Amino acid sequence: MKQFLAFIRKEFFHVFRDRRTLLIMFGLPVAQIVLFGFALTSEVKDITLTVIDQSGDVNTQQLISKIKSSSYFVVNESTRDYNRIADDFKKGRAKCALIFPARFGDDLQHGGKVQLQIITDGSDPNTAKTVVNYITAITTAYQQQVSPSQRLPFVIIPETRMLYNEEGNGSLNFIPGVMALVLMIVCTALTSVSVVREKELGTMEILLVSPFKPLMVLIAKAIPYLILSLANFILILVLAVFVLDVAIKGSIILLFLESMLFIITCLSLGLLISNTTNSQQTALLLSMMGMMIPTMIFTGFMFPLENMPKVFQVISNLIPSRWYFLIVKAVMLKGLGFSYVWKETLVMLGMTVAALTIALKNFKTRLS
């Protein structure tokens, strides 16, 4: 036991004295959160909009000021010059143009058909669609406001609600994804590299020759990273709650335990990698390429799994982070209890046991 503690202490020394490790350990989650939270958000904000107002009446003015008052658009001053559109699009001054035809207000007042043209930048189809939806929503609301009596009996206006995320906070979906990604990278890469470093240094020879049990070497190596990863997990949660305003709806204890299980899965994978190679570079490459990319693609937080070909959907079942992602979404965002995630938990547990067994079995108590 004393040996075990000495080993763990030594492992902590390694981590805290190596700036690179610390940076990966604690810089990565912060960077990921900032990146996904602010830079890579799928929400549309501050879209530049050019208005061509060929009517210039009260109604167009009102509608324009409605659009201006929403946080989605920055409206360029309106003009009657149709050529401005092409110019603004080319120079990047507008992502979207709104054209009111002449006599827009008159037609509206007199119950006739009103037309309104929206031109968007199709090179970014996602944003374009969102923009069209926003403007349609604003104009519909306006229409009801000016002429509620004119509502035709057959017009159905859907009122949508986004369940679990009423405010449309884009951070919600990726938080579980970032958690899966960061824990995966940190646990797998750092564990495998730290074992392989001992092989490269030649210290593994001494460790093996010592009376300390070889399996204990692996376990003692993994424990510091388990502790650090849990600290990491807490860091991500704190960032999520206080920086990105994500509320944790479910049980924190359940979330913590599920995360611990996932961390152990990743540690086992890290140990598995360290068994197969003798160079730190290979270990790092294997953990990064072999773990990070599948995690990003097959977890479901960047690319919806439902849209993937069947083969990929089957493959995605083999990726531990996919299950962890589902669990975190259910517990953290939906506030569901263990009875809703026990199946996913069981899958993850099975994977952990398998990976750990193989890792421990393959660990060589001798050199090659």
Q: Binding to another protein by residue 38, rule CB under 8 A?
A: no
259 in Cβ contact with 183 (< 8 Å): yes
283 in Cβ contact with 193 (< 8 Å): yes
Q: Which of 203, 279, 317, 362 binds another protein (CB under 8 A)?
A: 203
Q: Binding to another protein by residue 212, rule CB under 8 A?
A: yes
Q: Binding to another protein by residue 225, rule CB under 8 A?
A: no
Q: Which of 30, 119, 208, 257 binds another protein (CB under 8 A)?
A: 208
Instruction: Give residues 77-116 in contact with another protein (rule: CB under 8 A).
Output: none
Closest CA to 292 of 11, 16, 24: 24
Q: Which listed range, 11-19, 153-161, 316-324, 338-346, lies at the site for another protein (CB under 8 A)? A: 11-19
171 in Cβ contact with 248 (< 8 Å): no
CA distance 69 to 244: 24
174 in Cβ contact with 301 (< 8 Å): yes
Q: Which is nearer to another protein, 206 or 346 (CB)?
A: 206
Q: How far is the CB of 357 from another protein (least distance, A)?
A: 23
CA distance 173 to 339: 22
CA distance 160 to 175: 24
Q: Which is nearer to another protein, 74 or 223 (CB)?
A: 223
Q: Which of 158, 202, 304, 309 binds another protein (CB under 8 A)?
A: 202
Q: Which of 148, 211, 304, 309 binds another protein (CB under 8 A)?
A: 211
Helix %, strand %, coil % for the chain, to 5? 65, 5, 25
Rg of the chain (C-alpha set): 28
Phi, psi of 3 (to 5 degrees): -65, -40
195 in Cβ contact with 271 (< 8 Å): yes
Q: Which listed range, 28-36, 39-47, 108-116, 209-217, lies at the site for another protein (CB under 8 A)? A: 209-217
Q: Binding to another protein by residue 303, rule CB under 8 A?
A: no
Q: Binding to another protein by residue 235, rule CB under 8 A?
A: no
Q: How far is the CB of 311 from another protein (least distance, A)?
A: 36
Q: Which of 163, 209, 253, 311 binds another protein (CB under 8 A)?
A: 209
Site for another protein, rule CB under 8 A:
2-3, 6-7, 9-10, 13-14, 17-18, 201-203, 205-212, 365-368
